[in-house]
Structure 1
Amino acid sequence: MGKEEKTVQDPLIHYAGQIGWHFVNARSALQRRGGPQGRFFRDTLEEQLIRLNPGLVNDERASEIANLLARLPASIEGNRQALSWLRGEQSLYIPAEKRERNIRLIDFDQLDNNIFAVTKEWSQRNDLYTNRADIIFLINGLPVAIVETKKATLAEGLSLGVDQLRRYHRETPEMLVIPQVFVVTQLFDLYYGATWNTDRNSLFNWKEVVGPLSTFEQKVCDFFDRRRFLRVLRDYLIFLTRDDQLSKVILRQHQMRAVEKVVARVEEGQKRRGLIWHTQGSGKTLTMLTIAARLLHAPQREKPTVIMVVDRNELEQQLFKNIQAYGLGSAKVAESKKDLQDILDSDYRGLVVTMIHKFDGIRPQSNPRKSIVVLVDEAHRSTGGELGTELMAALPNATYIGFTGTPIDRLSRGQGTFKVFGCEDPEGYLDKYSIADSIADGTTVALNYALAPSALRVDRQTLEREFLELTEAQGVSDIQELNAILDRAVKLKEMMKAPERVDAIARFVAEHFLQNVHPMGFKAFLVAVDREACVLYKRALERYLPVDWIEAVYSPSHKDSGDLKALALSEDQERAIRRDFLQKQRLPKILIVTEKLLTGYDAPILYCLYLDKPMRDHVLLQAIARVNRPYEDGEGQVKPYGFILDFVGLFDQLEKALAFDSDIVQSVIQDIEILKQLFASWMQNEAQPHLAYARALQDDQGYERALEYYFDDKQRRQDFLTFFRRLQNLYEVIAPDAFLHPYLEDYQALAELYAIVRRDLDLVPVDHELTAKTKALLRSRTSSSTPTAPEAVRELSIERLQALKNSRLSSLGKIINLRKLLSLTVETKARQEPHLVSIGERAEEVAREYEARHVATQQALDEYEKLAEEYLHASEERQRLGLNPNAFAIYQELRRQVVTASPQQAQALDEAFRHHPDYEWNPTEESQLRAELYRLLYPVCGVTLAVSLASKLLRLERVKEA
């Protein structure tokens, strides 16, 4: 740990102490847990249960609750129960009162009634594994946050931290039963997420802090601010159940910020309007639901009515499912206009869900109460025209909060959404989270487009005449409104659905999907002009792709016949298809849609949208935003961008297709030709210094020169690795394309150089870091894997070590070989051969000293050769001495300090450890063991050395025999 502990771990604990988390040392923490199988500080928990629940919890009940928490299942379900306990939602039967009473584990209102603690090196053990978390935060004895710290100089620190957390979930899930939040930090960045959800897309950078500078100290103090952290536990962790699958999310900073602003506005009661302008894909629905939950559960004089308004039946159904998944309990759904009128007349208190059209004809002044909050989804559509007027007339004193994901269009400036909801804020909105913000945060990915060949695109004059030049099509914000316009474009639709054109586009789509999308492991939408076109495209695509790869999803009608009726999906079929499409390994791979799934359906695996439906403005923006969700699978496959292939020709004139300000349009989408220009520029300029070394890799000395160049300057190495990752993202999007042909040989060389630097200098496996298309290129253009040093040793043996010593490799080449081999040996064999732990620690110390230039090259090489020889002779020596692995590790440690140490002395010391298995947490056993170690060591080395050796042996990590 060393440098990591001093530069990241200890400062984090220090900063936490400054804001009220008191430190508990690791040994004391282990003791209070009752050993490494314990989950919490039982003494603190029971004391706090009695203190926070006077008259309800006594010693016996406190012990009963602690037992319940100790037995929670080590799963996401157990974690949900733990959060319910933390939030005071669980109850016990109180015989004296003959009723259930909720039990408080945390006082969310009075901060100082809680005990906030932080500890480090938290070991968790079960029958198979032992893992150790870097830092644990606890409230009232219960662990609530787990932190992994990595060295600031470690390039892949954050990734390694996430991988460790995944391993904890997999091997020691008991560690994650109660903690609700995790943090991964390497000093420069602090990333947070929800336990039981280690998807990289659910890991967020805590970047907005209180203060002028975003220092590590400020980030720690801001994130772990005790009052803020209690709010996160109480309000911003959400379990969702969808399709019988339980998942967990934590709100992002912009969502938390919006919730706080809306709740504050409602509670202050001075202003009664507000607009939340958060871009598509930024989680508006969960923001709305959290606001509703906060308002409904807040202590206040009178319970409010919260009305959630949507503008379409599909969105109403989706919202109701989200409410159920969120666990908000019962919500009244206005089934009709009369039903809505009755709900308002009855002065119902609670949550109401309705569509905007049900306010048509609603009686003015239906409910003049002030404690009504109306949350309007997709406000740019819902409150347009007379319906918005009738809504506000019916509830004249309500507070109205609008939510929109699309920016204001040029045609509506000064009116519409921003005028209705933003009138009380100088900027026109209460909170904003822009497209550029979301891309920078990784909340969404940037979009690229390409125009299909001109022969496949719609006739431009017909498109202009029947759609783009129509006044009613300008600023269109509703897909049904769009469909009505297109229904009148008879000639345009006939041309688009001509059999020859449909077949040609289907053939082109199939070829493009197979060459561009499928190799990346992603999926696609084909957006057709209407329901009939969905059916035509399904039949056409079936001629070029496997039938089970393709499904058409559209709304059926009782008037349908032929294929429209035959291919229509039942509700159960559609539900299954929607669910399976989200999974990489499941079919279908392409969905053909025209209206359904273009709003409210989040499919991160969706990369490509084949657009063959005239759209514009808000409707177009919503449709193309389907492909802007980030994605990363367990194998490291990352979605670099979202991609739209335009068969209509809308993007031929972007200013007509998206009537927004130019800076907004540029942040939304860019022509893939720009990526090609960027790729060419990088290859011609930034790549050149690296190509000088990459091209020479196959030469006997080229490999060594390259490693010396990147080993010599760590910043140079990091700059190259960053550059290649960015270049690889471009290649993944562009390939295959004839444009790349002049660059392929050099790009391949750079990929091989990247693999070598990561493998041989950073000791990191590279398979997951190279994208599918890059790996395919390497396989197709070379007969071997990435180059290896001439005369390199792939496995340690006495003969091969001698051959390496005698080889023509430079001293640096030999060092790199030995360091890599020792690292791999320790990683794979240390569990069975504990003495390797010490060898690995000493090898890393040599590496640190050498990279810091504190030792010369020859001295470093000598040290590595000694360590390699120690390893090679160790197995033979252990067998000769007849020692078990733990006793041999002790013997090796003794021999380094006392030349005359004997195997029998090591066996006796190992036996002492075996007689005191709980010494790590039981102070009595630890004291007895230490005394026994002193007794055994004193005759060997004297008093002074016996004390230090005993302490070192106590710290030595013991590993079970295989």
Structure 2
Amino acid sequence: MSKQKAFLEKLHIKNFLSLRNITLPLKSLTVLVGPNASGKSNVLSALYSLRSMMTDEKLPPVELVQSYLWAGKASHITFQLQTEVKETSAIYELEFKADVHNPFVAEELLVAGIKIISVENGKGEVQDENGKNKTTYTSNKVFFLPDLQEWSSAVPPQTSSQIQPEQMNPYSEDELIEQPTINLLTEMGWETRNCHNEFNRGDSPLGRHTKSEVVLIPRLQAAFARLNPNATPEAIAKAIEELTHSRSLMSIVEANREIYTLLKDGVRVTVSDPSGDSEATEVLQVIDWNTPENNDFFAASQFWITGEMYTKRPDLICFVNGIPLILMEFKRIDVNLYAAYNDNLRDYKDTIPHLFWYNAFIFLSNGTDSKVGSLTASWEHFAEWKRIHSENEPPKISLETILRALCEPQRLLDVVENFILFMEAQGGLIKILAKNHQYLGVNNTIASLNQIQDNQGKLGVFWHTQGSGKSISMLLFAQKVLRKVPGNWTFVVVTDRKELDDQIYKTFASTSGVLTQQEVHAERVVHLRQLLSEDHRYIFTLIQKFQTQGGERHPILSERSDIVVITDEAHRSQYDTLALNMRTALPNAAFIAFTGTPLMAGEEKTKSVFGDYVSVYDFNQSILDRATVPLYYENRVPTLPEKSTG
């Protein structure tokens, strides 16, 4: 007797991810068509999960099923399949409730309207197709294996505390990447906690009321009180409200820029004075950027977050004073790291976007490759950090290197405070995180500036090869000086070509919070001299505006000692004379030269004005870091036709 094939006719899904209550008619070929984020992938996920539950005869952990639940108030997930064999209809239904304290699983099979199987929590009855001969039936579909890794290994049910180390997979993502990361964070002074079961016993030990909260309010409240000892409870409450209110109507990057400004400059609140007759404005500090010990560093692994429709569980989130500054996502060592970017990160941006309102940077690793980037960075702009302290260190690609370079508390605060920019680009607002070479080079230059008395204002030559982001490095240097080095600093940015002058000016002008005056772009010699006699933070000019007529000596334009002259491509031939004019015009200024090519023989006058190299990032380093496209040369001898001499 030949077996009859059963064809699926309908699939009913209820409360699975974004699928609130849908029924899909099925054919021999079914095509799902719809816009992005409409639920197509979730239908496939539902089919895959259902197949695993039916064929493996076991269910996933409670925690995983909880992540499948529709983000509304649903408590049950239901799958119903309708098939037909020889014109006989059969309906199979599987329903389960992911409640740790009261789990529930029910199976039911109806054939031609007769209930053949009826089971709850693994026990029930079965009868024949005529509704007779009832017998006791036991199903293997009961809750639940305790650990996500156990779902695929069919280990008998046990509590997580009973799982011995030798039972864990020694080659898993957790063992090879996540746990070493947590251990290193602990070594660097971070408090760490596995939050997988955060809500299992009711109240969250982190003080969260729901999984939708991404800011740890108790830690933030304590930080406000600690860093602002004179702040009233009213002021702290208003500051928390200002930081945590919804920004869902803004784009992720716009919300991120707004909150970044609050974190960096403090939260301004208006409170009533004690008499109640008037109001006063207070600025509350969120993070102590200068003293890491005054802050709270906390890393949460397996941290559940619920968005509008989905619940997700990023691998590791690092909080500073309750603010989720770093998102870390890991992959197994045998998985291409791009999957963490393309699958996980992009999914998180769609499903839990409010996490990214607060994000400083994103860290991806599979143990072999580790990269970091901003929330707007394309995959090509996620970069390795191969050195921790100095450009002279041999480059080392390792998980430990990049973690120590970015997550050691003092360096983390420096990176977040001084090496992040927001810039208007052709496609809209973007967030820029400095690369490793920019971070080290800028800090070298800051150190040189702090030695201004010893080096007589010769800050050095900043040689970073073309295409490595010199304009951004200039900007980062200037912005850090204005924020961290005492003084009423003015930066005079000098180039020798109009298009380069316009390009650098536009770079500065398009960056949020940098230029507040539009008249800082010198157009004539007279205009430059006027600007230098005034008080501006930035002045942009061509080197030619330092020229004189008839060999006369250039006049002194300012004797201030808090002027820094930044020149681009300072070793070009015309700079030899004009650079000396700059030194004459600004006798007490400091000078730094940015260049994309090394100084050559005959350009020693450049060193006499600017000093020796302060930072070097050459072409070979740039190629290895994939910051510059390699150039290949092919030696060819042109073939010339012979000319007839007849």
Could you give the per-residue CA deviations for residues 737-790 of structure 1, whole angstroms, max 9, x where no partner exists? xxxxxxxxxxxxxxxxxxxxxxxxxxxxxxxxxxxxxxxxxxxxxxxxxxxxxx
SS at match of 2:629: coil
Go from structure 1 to structure 2 and tell me whether the alpha carbon gap of 1:155 and 1:37 turns closer, same or farther (over 3 Å shift). closer
- State the AA in 1 paired with 2:324: P
**Residue 415 (structure 1) aligned with residue 604 (structure 2):** yes
Could you give the per-residue CA deviations for residues 520-541 of structure 1, whole angstroms, max 9, x where no partner exists? xxxxxxxxxxxxxxxxxxxxxx
Deviation at 1:143, TM superposition (A): 0.4
- In the TM superposition, 1:475-514 aligns within 5 A as none
| 1:15 corresponds to | 184
- State the AA in 1 paired with 2:214: R
| 2:353 corresponds to | 173
**Residue 107 (structure 1) aligned with residue 288 (structure 2):** yes
Could you give the per-residue CA deviations for residues 261-303 of structure 1, whole angstroms, max 9, x where no partner exists? 1111112212122000000100000000111111222251x31
Deviation at 1:399, TM superposition (A): 1.1
Counterpart CA distance in 2 for 1:30 and 1:39 is 14
| 1:224 corresponds to | 407
Contact 1:242 / 1:325 at 8 angstroms: preserved in 2? yes
Go from structure 1 to structure 2 and tell me whether the alpha carbon gap of 1:90 and 1:61 turns closer, same or farther (over 3 Å shift). closer
| 1:335 corresponds to | 523
| 2:494 corresponds to | 309
Go from structure 1 to structure 2 and tell me whether the alpha carbon gap of 1:345 and 1:161 turns closer, same or farther (over 3 Å shift). closer
- In the TM superposition, 1:389-428 aligns within 5 A as 389-409=580-600, 412-413=601-602, 415-418=604-607, 420-422=609-611, 425=612
Counterpart CA distance in 2 for 1:122 and 1:225 is 21
Deviation at 1:325, TM superposition (A): 1.5
| 1:324 corresponds to | 509
Could you give the per-residue CA deviations for residues 602-653 of structure 1, whole angstroms, max 9, x where no partner exists? xxxxxxxxxxxxxxxxxxxxxxxxxxxxxxxxxxxxxxxxxxxxxxxxxxxx
Contact 2:329 / 2:365 at 8 angstroms: preserved in 1? yes
**Residue 350 (structure 1) aligned with residue 350 (structure 2):** no
Contact 1:376 / 1:382 at 8 angstroms: preserved in 2? no
| 1:946 corresponds to | none
Identical positions, percent: 27
Q: Alignment partner for residue 436 of structure 1, among 620, 634, 640?
A: 620
- State the AA in 2 paired with 1:442: R
Deviation at 1:372, TM superposition (A): 1.5
Q: Alignment partner for residue 324 of structure 2, among 127, 138, 143?
A: 143
Q: Alignment partner for residue 370 of structure 1, among 539, 561, 574?
A: 561
- In the TM superposition, 1:773-922 aligns within 5 A as none
Aligned residue pair count: 447
Counterpart CA distance in 2 for 1:144 and 1:383 is 47
**Residue 86 (structure 1) aligned with residue 263 (structure 2):** yes
Go from structure 1 to structure 2 and tell me whether the alpha carbon gap of 1:265 and 1:99 turns closer, same or farther (over 3 Å shift). farther
| 2:465 corresponds to | 279
Deviation at 1:98, TM superposition (A): 5.1
Contact 1:78 / 1:177 at 8 angstroms: preserved in 2? yes
Could you give the per-residue CA deviations for residues 689-733 of structure 1, whole angstroms, max 9, x where no partner exists? xxxxxxxxxxxxxxxxxxxxxxxxxxxxxxxxxxxxxxxxxxxxx
Go from structure 1 to structure 2 and tell me whether the alpha carbon gap of 1:57 and 1:382 turns closer, same or farther (over 3 Å shift). farther
Deviation at 1:403, TM superposition (A): 0.5
Could you give the per-residue CA deviations for residues 508-529 of structure 1, whole angstroms, max 9, x where no partner exists? xxxxxxxxxxxxxxxxxxxxxx
SS at match of 2:207: helix
What is the TM-score normalised by the length of structure 2?
0.64
Deviation at 1:389, TM superposition (A): 1.5
Go from structure 1 to structure 2 and tell me whether the alpha carbon gap of 1:333 and 1:98 turns closer, same or farther (over 3 Å shift). farther
What is the TM-score normalised by the length of structure 1?
0.44
Go from structure 1 to structure 2 and tell me whether the alpha carbon gap of 1:213 and 1:451 turns closer, same or farther (over 3 Å shift). closer
Moved more, 88-97 or 49-58: 88-97
| 2:364 corresponds to | 184
- State the AA in 1 paired with 2:625: D
**Residue 266 (structure 1) aligned with residue 446 (structure 2):** no
Go from structure 1 to structure 2 and tell me whether the alpha carbon gap of 1:358 and 1:93 turns closer, same or farther (over 3 Å shift). farther
Counterpart CA distance in 2 for 1:136 and 1:337 is 53
Could you give the per-residue CA deviations for residues 645-681 of structure 1, whole angstroms, max 9, x where no partner exists? xxxxxxxxxxxxxxxxxxxxxxxxxxxxxxxxxxxxx
Go from structure 1 to structure 2 and tell me whether the alpha carbon gap of 1:179 and 1:252 turns closer, same or farther (over 3 Å shift). same
- State the AA in 2 paired with 1:190: S
Deviation at 1:133, TM superposition (A): 0.7
SS at match of 1:364: coil
List alignment gaps of at least 5 residues for structure 1: 460-962
Go from structure 1 to structure 2 and tell me whether the alpha carbon gap of 1:194 and 1:382 turns closer, same or farther (over 3 Å shift). farther
Deviation at 1:448, TM superposition (A): 2.8
Could you give the per-residue CA deviations for residues 135-163 of structure 1, whole angstroms, max 9, x where no partner exists? 000000010001112223x1413543553
- State the AA in 2 paired with 1:341: R
Could you give the per-residue CA deviations for residues 25-48 of structure 1, whole angstroms, max 9, x where no partner exists? 304478533222111101111221
Contact 2:235 / 2:271 at 8 angstroms: preserved in 1? no
Counterpart CA distance in 2 for 1:455 and 1:141 is 70
Counterpart CA distance in 2 for 1:127 and 1:185 is 28
Contact 2:335 / 2:366 at 8 angstroms: preserved in 1? no
- In the TM superposition, 1:444-593 aligns within 5 A as 444-449=628-633, 454=638
Counterpart CA distance in 2 for 1:268 and 1:101 is 36
Counterpart CA distance in 1 for 2:239 and 2:610 is 52
| 1:867 corresponds to | none
Go from structure 1 to structure 2 and tell me whether the alpha carbon gap of 1:213 and 1:303 turns closer, same or farther (over 3 Å shift). closer
Counterpart CA distance in 2 for 1:205 and 1:24 is 27
Output the aligned Cα RMSD: 2.8
Contact 2:576 / 2:606 at 8 angstroms: preserved in 1? no
List alignment gaps of at least 5 residues for structure 2: 1-148, 150-168, 199-203
- State the AA in 2 paired with 1:286: I
- State the AA in 2 paired with 1:365: I
Contact 1:383 / 1:417 at 8 angstroms: preserved in 2? no
- The answer to which structure has the higher helix fraction is 1
| 1:381 corresponds to | 572
Go from structure 1 to structure 2 and tell me whether the alpha carbon gap of 1:17 and 1:456 turns closer, same or farther (over 3 Å shift). farther
Contact 2:463 / 2:595 at 8 angstroms: preserved in 1? yes
Go from structure 1 to structure 2 and tell me whether the alpha carbon gap of 1:66 and 1:5 turns closer, same or farther (over 3 Å shift). farther
| 1:292 corresponds to | 478
**Residue 76 (structure 1) aligned with residue 256 (structure 2):** no
Q: Alignment partner for residue 55 of structure 1, among 221, 230, 237?
A: 230
SS at match of 1:448: coil
Counterpart CA distance in 1 for 2:280 and 2:579 is 47
Go from structure 1 to structure 2 and tell me whether the alpha carbon gap of 1:68 and 1:205 turns closer, same or farther (over 3 Å shift). closer
Q: Alignment partner for residue 40 of structure 1, among 215, 227, 234?
A: 215
SS at match of 1:112: helix
- State the AA in 2 paired with 1:330: T
- The answer to which structure has the higher strand fraction is 2
| 2:97 corresponds to | none
Counterpart CA distance in 1 for 2:589 and 2:324 is 42
Moved more, 73-82 or 90-99: 90-99
Deviation at 1:364, TM superposition (A): 3.1
Go from structure 1 to structure 2 and tell me whether the alpha carbon gap of 1:172 and 1:317 turns closer, same or farther (over 3 Å shift). same
Contact 1:311 / 1:382 at 8 angstroms: preserved in 2? no
Deviation at 1:370, TM superposition (A): 2.0
Contact 2:329 / 2:340 at 8 angstroms: preserved in 1? no
Deviation at 1:446, TM superposition (A): 0.7
Counterpart CA distance in 2 for 1:289 and 1:30 is 43
Deviation at 1:219, TM superposition (A): 3.6
SS at match of 2:510: helix
